[in-house]
Structure 1
Amino acid sequence: MTDRFKGGQARRYIVRAVASASDLRAAQALRGAAFGLRGPDVDPLDDICEHMLIEDRRLNRLAGCFRLLPLASGSDIARSYSAQFYDLSALTSYAAPMTELGRFCIHPTARDPDILRAAWAAITAHVDAGRVEMLFGCTSFRGVDPAPYEGAFAALARAHLAPRAWAPVARAAQTIPLGGRCARASLAAVPPLLRSYLGMGGWVSDHAVVDPAMNTLHVFTGLEIAAIPPARQRLLRATLDGGGAAR
């Protein structure tokens, strides 16, 4: 990655690929802190993924990170992290290139939305370079108590469930169905990354998985690149070229 993958605020953020073992350790340490673990988050899939760092030039620290797992088609989806928790049989027939976006973390004290914008610019470059036609992954809600997310889960079920052709099936030991009666259905409690997906036409599984090891609830999330509205695609590429913000 080069200098052109930057957010706003006088080009404060730079997104680049890990270049050394110490870079990867820094990403794993940030992941551990973001997930509230006692140490770094190290995962077996780290060895086969492409890792990206979001650097804050103003504070001279790591502002965020994520990893990418490119797949030639849905026939390779069993290799993904998501396949450990969801039955993704419906997506094995997907014939085009796909990428799993995972372990997306932002520094626990960072609040600047330009961090997410910078990340999406780099993701856009990856999509263009690999002619990727679908992004997918697990997007997380902090904690394992579903009560704070009752309204969010109801709103997701009403308007953002996966197309039947691609819908994941439950396979994890502990799951929570989305939906139910909720007078306060709202996306207010939805994490920023998932809101970005939804704003571009993304969709989710009909259930959340309880993951005690990571202290999260997560939903499978998919985004077909062709479904992104043209205006949003122009904004994403404006950020990629250094001409503006992604959203």
Structure 2
Amino acid sequence: MAIIVEGRYRARLAETAQDLRKAQRLRWRCFLGRTAPDDGDGLDADALDAECSHLLIEDTRTGELAACCRFLVLEKGEDIGRSYSAQYYDLGRLATYDTPMVEMGRFCVDPSRRDPDILRLAWRALSQQIDAARAGLLFGCSSFVGTEPDQYADAFAMLRARHLAPRRWLPRVKAPQVFRFARALRLMTPDPRRAMAAMPPLLRSYLAMGGWVSDHAVVDRQLNTLHVFTGVEIGAIPPARQRWLRGTAQAVNP
């Protein structure tokens, strides 16, 4: 992947152990630092890191890491069991998917930054990887902060009403603790404004591309999140959104 520059940010793949450590450190701050004391050395790391590629979004002025995510290319549906998501969802229905797939995970943005260019550049860089893999499906877990679902009732009710996965791909329950929002909120009419305000930015991006979600959220107490399985079928992304994803960011030589 060529380095991509847009505005004050650049996107590139991690190349060294130090690059990976920077990503793991930012992940710890975003996911675990909310509930644990920070001694300056905390890392969010697991065995899947070694199998994934890691996308870094850096500030060109300071060199600081502004955002990161990891992604895993699966050549066929039969490989779905290798994914991070498969630890929490029964994805047996996706085992019949007949094109390569890309799982994106651990997406996070430095909490001190609010620049929309960060998310825009991340999606454009990731789109290059999806195209290179000839992937038909992008998937992952979209996280809500905290483990109490009541504060997200409107958001979950909207997901149930408008964005559930097609039945042929719908994940089944696997995790020991889940919130079955499609069942619990079947009679609730969501307030659209409150629903969208409560949606995590990454999930809003998925939905804008025509993405769909599982009918339940996993309660992840280790990361202090509620997360839903999220998928986007690449061929179904609206043309205007396809153009936005590919954008006009400049590719430069390393």
Kept in 1: contact 2:103–2:138 (CA 8 A): yes
1:197 aligned residue: 206
Name the residue aligned to 1:165. 168
Paired with 1:241 and 1:73, the residues of 2 have a C-alpha distance of: 31
Distance (whole Å) between structure 2 residues aligned to residue 124 and residue 141 of structure 1:
24
TM-score, length basis structure 1: 0.93
Partner in structure 1 of residue 101 of structure 2: 98
Cα separation, 1, equivalents of 2:14 and 2:111: 20
Q: 51, 54, 69: which is aligned to 2:54?
A: 51
How far apart in 2 are the matches of 1:123 and 1:215? Answer: 26
Q: Deviations over 1:37-96 (max 9, x none)?
A: 342101110010001111011343100000010000110000000000000000000010
Structure 1 residue 239: Cα displacement: 3.3
Task: For residue 188 of structure 1, give the secondary structure of its aligned residue in structure 2.
Answer: helix
Give me the whole-angstrom Cα distance separating, in 1, the residues matched to 2:136 and 2:200: 23
Q: Deviations over 1:159-202 (max 9, x none)?
A: 00000110000110000012414344322201011100000000
Confirm or deny that 1:32 pairs with 2:28. Answer: yes
Q: Map Cα deviations across residues 6-49 of structure 1 (whole Å, 9 max, x no partner).
A: 33xxx211111111101100000000001133421011100100
Is the counterpart of residue 132 in structure 1 residue 143 in structure 2? no
Aligned to 1:102, what secondary structure does the other structure show?
strand
Among 122, 145, 148, the residue aligned to 1:119: 122
Percent identity for Structure 1 against Structure 2: 55
1:217 aligned residue: 226
Q: Is the 8 A contact 1:211 1:218 kept in 2?
A: yes
**Count of matched residue pairs:** 238
Confirm or deny that 1:238 pairs with 2:244. Answer: no
Q: Which residue matches 1:78?
A: 81
Match of 1:245 in 2: none
Task: Measure the CA separation in 2 of the matches of 1:25 and 1:87.
Answer: 31
Q: Equivalent residue of 1:144, what SS?
A: coil
Unpaired stretches in structure 2, ≥5 consecutive residues = 37-41
Instruction: Indicate the SS of the match to 1:137.
Output: strand
Cα distance in 1 between the residues matched to 2:165 and 2:124: 25
The runs of 5 or more residues in structure 1 that have no matched partner are 243-247
Distance 1:154 1:219 in 2: 13
The residue that corresponds to 2:39 in the other structure is none
Q: Given the alignment, which residue of 143, 147, 150 partners 1:144? A: 147
2:2 counterpart residue number: 2
CA contact (8 A) 1:85 1:209 kept: yes
Distance 1:239 1:140, change over 3 A: farther
Aligned 1:6-25 pairs, distance under 5 A: 6-7=5-6, 11-25=7-21
The answer (yes or no) to whether the contact 1:124–1:240 under 8 Å persists in 2 is no
| TM-score, structure 2 normalization | 0.90
RMSD over equivalenced CA pairs, Å: 1.3
Which portions of structure 1, spanning 4 or more consecutive aligned residues, are displaced by more than 4 angstroms?
Answer: none
Instruction: State the shift of 1:2 in Å.
Output: 2.5
**Aligned-partner SS, 1:164:** coil
Asked if 1 retains the 8 angstrom alpha-carbon contact of 2:88 and 2:174, the reply is yes
Q: Say yes or no: does 1:176 pair with 2:179.
A: yes
Pick which of 124-133 and 198-207 moved more.
Answer: 124-133
- What's the counterpart of residue 153 of structure 1? 156
Task: Name the amino acid aligned to 1:159.
Answer: R
SS for the counterpart of 1:213 is coil
For 2:98, what is the secondary structure of its paired residue?
A: coil
